Amino acid sequence: MRTLRTVPGLRTALKPARRAERTIALVPTMGALHEGHLSLIRAARAQADEVVVSLFVNPAQFNDPEDLAKYPRDEERDAQLAEQAGADILFAPPPEIVYPPGFGTEVRVGGPLTETLEGEHRGPEHFHGVATVVTKLLNMVQPHTAFFGQKDAQQALVIRKLVRDLDMDVQIEIAPTVREPDGLALSSRNVRLHGDDRRRALALSRALQAAQSAAAAGERDAAAIAQLARASMQELHVEPDYLALVNPDDLVPVHTVRDDTLVAVAARIGEVRLIDNILINGSGS
């Protein structure tokens, strides 16, 4: 595996693959790799000839300066893990390569997709930062396929819309959420959960399980399901930023659970803000 830091270097490295019409996959990450990221890299490896993993902690998508400052970084470890999972290229540009002096363009996906849930609580600028950096990474790598995680379900929808709206010639693959054995969704921020907070962090996945069980038991009323899910969080003294049952395609609130419904939750556990989600449906599966 090669580590590259500049766009010309990356393009030169990918030229032979492009000439030979070999398929190129991109897995964008902010590093601090865990099994969730590695599952994406393995999926990319299984599908494409050339696998590029990008590692860039994107300042433009952080609304909280402390969250950015405390974001875990260990490139050496990430490089080892990415290589073991099958990456051919680690693209790890410094911030001045991604945002050179004078940089002045922003990509915005407008409308409810970026204004609700995370957009409402972190501000839509978060998704403008995501859309801008993902556009840049897709332009830099020009992959045939790019892999993202269902863990960030709203982000995945924003990226699908971005690609559709701008006619980008790339296939977007969304991989399932990888969890700890006790249900906690893997996240780079989990290393910042100390002491009792690790146990309290289970409030998110337990709330989602409670919602799923209620739907499986025949409950169709979204408000009642949300109430049960919130109650299970209160047992761990966790108050969500939001807990919402929404349409998985457009994030519009659902009142009656008939078809596939996305249950999305966000909560602050100590100093760490976590998100999680699950798909439930009328038959509870």
Residue of 4, 26, 37, 129 interacting with ligand AMP (CB under 6 A): 37
Binding residue for ligand AMP, selected from 97, 178, 228, 236, defined by CB under 6 A: 178
Instruction: Quote the least distance from Cβ 102 to ligand AMP, whole Å.
Output: 26
**209-223 b/e with 16+ CB inside 10 Å = b?**
bbbbbbbeeebeebe
- Is residue 188 within the footprint of ligand AMP (CB under 6 A)? yes
30 is a contact residue toward ligand AMP (CB under 6 A): yes
Q: Which of 34, 37, 144, 194 is catalytic?
A: 37
Q: Which stretch binds ligand AMP (CB under 6 A): 31-39, 136-144, 195-203, 228-236?
A: 31-39
Closest listed residue to residue 245, CA positions, set 232, 259, 255: 255
Distance CA 107, CA 135 (A): 8
Q: How far is the CB of 202 from ligand AMP (least distance, A)?
A: 14
User: Alpha carbon 110 to chain centroid distance?
Assistant: 19
Q: Helix 222-234 and helix 202-216: axis angle, to 10°?
A: 140
Distance CA 45, CA 52 (A): 9
Q: Does 186 bind ligand AMP (CB under 6 A)?
A: yes
Interaction pattern, residues 58-97, with ligand AMP; x per rule: CB under 6 A: ----------------------------------------
37 a catalytic residue: yes
- Number of neighbouring beta carbons within 10 Å of residue 279: 15
Q: Is 177 in the site for ligand AMP (CB under 6 A)?
A: yes
Under the binding rule (CB under 6 A), the answer on residue 36 touching ligand AMP is yes
- Take residue 157 and report the two structure tokens written for it: 């929808």
145 or 177: CB nearest ligand AMP? 177
**Residues in 126-155 that interact with ligand AMP by CB under 6 A:** 148-149, 151-152
Per rule CB under 6 A, is residue 278 in the interface with ligand AMP?
no
Instruction: Check residue 40 for interaction with ligand AMP (CB under 6 A).
Output: yes
Which residues lie below 8 Å from residue 71, measured CB to CB, with a gap of 6+?
30, 32, 57, 62, 188, 189
Q: For residues 264 and 224, what is the distance between their CA atoms, to the nearest angstrom?
A: 15
Q: Give the Cα separation of 57 and 30 in Å (integer).
A: 5
Residues found near ligand AMP in the complex (CB under 6 A): 29-30, 36-37, 39-40, 148-149, 151-152, 175, 177-178, 185-188
Catalytic residues: 37
